[in-house]
Amino acid sequence: MLIVAASFAIFVYGLVAAFLGTALPDLSKRFDLTPSRNGTIAFAQAIGLMLASLGAGPLIDLQGKKIALVLGTLLILAALLLLPRSRGFGDVVLLMFLMGLGGGTMVTGANALASDTGDAHRAIALNLANVFFGLGGLITPFLTANLFRGNSTKMGYTIAGIAVVSVAIQFLTPMARPAGGGRITLADAGSVLGRAPLILIGLFLFLYVSCEVGVWNWLVRHMIAQGIPAPRAMNTLSLGFALGLLIGRAAILPVLIHVRPLTVTLVGSICMAVTTLLVIQCRSAQLAGLFVFLAGLSMAPMFPTALAIVPEFFPRLTSTAIGVAITFGWAGLAVSSRIIGGIAGGDATRLKKALLVLPAFSCVMVVLSLLMRVVR
C-alpha cells in the first residue's frame, strides 16, 4: 500500500510536470503572453517547488508523510481548478507558484514514503514509484494533443479528477507516525545541513536535473538547427527520451537487487557523459533518435537512486534530508535553461556549443559519485 500511495502521488506529479508545457500555448493565446512572460511563469513554478521541498521535510519529520501528501495534492487541485478562471498574467503566475508548492510538498512526501520500505528495497521502491512520473509525463501531452485538441482546461480538469483519487488513496493508506518525539531543534537541523554527504548528493541532483531539463527544453531546437524536421525532432523527444526514461526506470529494478545504488549512479553518470555528447554531435535523425533513447536510459535511475542513498547517511530526520536534496534538484530546474540560453545567446548556431554543458555536468557527476563512496 505504501508503494501504491507513493506511485500514485508521483504519477499525479508527472501529469502536472508536463502540464505547463502543454498549457502555455493555450494560455499565451488567451492572455497574449510573450516568451519572457512564459519564462516568468515557469520560474514561479520552480520557486514554489524549491520552497515547498525545504519546508516539507521538517513537516514530515514532525507530523508524518500523510499530511504532506494530502496537503500537496490539495494545493495542486486548487491551482488546477482555479486556472481556467484566471483573469490575466498575474493570476497565472500565482497559480503556477501554488502548483509548484503543491508539487514540491507532494514529491518530497511520496519519495520519503517510498523510502520507508527498508534498506534492502529502498532503491528499488524509489525507482518503481518514479516509473509513474515518466508515465504521467507521456500521458499529459498525448491526451492534450489527441483527445482534447490542445484544450488545456479539459486536461487540467482531467488531472484534477485523478488528483481526487490520489487523495482518497492517501487517506486510506496506513502510514507510520514520525519517530523522534515530534520536535526538531536547531542542533538537529544543523546536524543535517552541515554534513558533507548531503551537500554531495544535493550537488549531484542539481547537476542531474540540469541535464534532464536541458534535454527536455533544448533538444528539439538543437535538432532543428541540425536540419532535422520539427515533427521528427518532437517525436525523438517523446518516443526517444521520454520512453528511455520510462523503460530505464523499470529495467533498473532487477539490477538494484544485486548492485549498490552508488555503483548505479557512477555508471549512469559515465553513460550520461558519453550519450549526451553523442546526441550533441550527431546530425543524422536516425542516429540521433538512438542516442537520445540511450541518454534517457542512462538518466532514468539517477534521481530516485540518488535519493535512496540519503537514508544511509541520515537514519534520523530522513525526510528533512530528502527535502533538502530535492530542493537542490529543483534549483537545477530553475537555472538550467538560463545557463544554456545565456551561453547560446540569440544565435541558434551557438546552441550546439551551449549544450556541451550536459556532458560537462555529467563528468562532474562522476566525480561526485566517487566522492560519495568515501565520504562519511
Q: What is the pLDDT of residues 143-181, one digit of tens each?
A: 887 788 778 899 999 999 999 999 999 988 888 777 555
Shared fold status for 1-183 and 185-376: yes
The tens digit of pLDDT for each residue in 56-84 reads: 888 888 888 899 999 999 999 999 999 99
In this structure, whether the domain defined by 185-376 belongs to CATH 1.10.1060.10 is answered with no
Cell of 306: 540518488
Q: What SS3 state is found at 119?
A: coil
How far apart CA 231 and CA 144 sit, in angstroms, is 17
Predicted local confidence at residue 25, as pLDDT: 76
Cell of 131: 516509473
How far apart CA 74 and CA 47 sit, in angstroms, is 18
Domain boundary assignment for the chain: 1-183, 185-376
Higher pLDDT, 251 or 42: 251
- Distance separating the N- and C-terminal Cα atoms of the chain: 33
DSSP 242: I
Burial class of residue 32, CB neighbours in 10 A (0-12, 13-18, 19+): exposed
Q: What SS3 state is found at 251?
A: helix
Query: Which residue in 158, 49, 56, 47 sits closest to 103, CA to CA?
Result: 49
The tens digit of pLDDT for each residue in 301-330 reads: 999 999 999 988 887 778 888 888 999 998
How far apart CA 5 and CA 114 sit, in angstroms, is 9
Residue with cell 523510502: 115
**Fold annotation for 1-183:** Growth Hormone; Chain: A; (1.20.1250)
pTM of the predicted model as reported, rounded to 2 decimal places: 0.81
Q: What SS3 state is found at 314?
A: coil
How far apart CA 322 and CA 339 sit, in angstroms, is 26
Dihedral of the alpha carbons of 365, 369, 374, 376, in degrees to the nearest 10 = 80
